[in-house]
Amino acid sequence: MDRNRFELLLDAYGADMRRWPANERAAAASFAAQEGAAEALLEARQLDAALDAVLGQEAPSSELSARILARRPQGWPLDRRALMALAACAVLGLLLGFGGGQLAPAPDNQGAAFFAMAFEAPPAFAIEDEG
């Protein structure tokens, strides 16, 4: 580390050595201590402070986050698809059950009489056969 390199680093990265290249920080710090670079460090620190005057003014609005999230990818993972298919089958089954019940003819008294006749001997038919 020589003076030229130290001054370039100070000009480029400012006084906060956490911003300096990691592999040069130690050498730069010991150079600053030995060579007495106090004035140059003060000037760099002044500029850092001036730049920091604009920090904290860029918090995004909550509306912006909401707008962005409203357009996020709407993925359909496999397990969710399977659940949706099952739900669709259940709904279809219910609809067919109700709909089928509505389509079937309603039971009436005449149907019941024919049903009973099937188990009784019809005398009228027997008389006709004999005659």
Partner 1 sequence: MIDPDAELVRSAGAGDAHAAEALVRRHLPRMVGLARRMLNDAVEAEDVAQEVFLRVWREAPRWRPGLAKFETWMHRVALNLCYDRLRRRREKPDADAGLSVADPTPLASDAWLARQRAAKVQAALAALPDRQRAAIALVHFQDMSNIAAAEMLDVSVEALESLLARGRRALKAALADVAQDLLGDADGAARM
**Contact residues for partner 1 (CB under 8 A)?**
8-9, 11-14, 19, 21-22, 42-43, 45-51, 53-55, 57-61, 64-65, 67-69, 71-77
Nearer to partner 1, 20 or 32 (CB): 20
Nearer to partner 1, 64 or 90 (CB): 64
Shortest separation between residue 34's beta carbon and partner 1, angstroms: 23
Shortest separation between residue 7's beta carbon and partner 1, angstroms: 9
4: CB partners within 8 A, 6+ apart: none
Shortest separation between residue 58's beta carbon and partner 1, angstroms: 4
Nearer to partner 1, 81 or 115 (CB): 81
Shortest separation between residue 17's beta carbon and partner 1, angstroms: 12
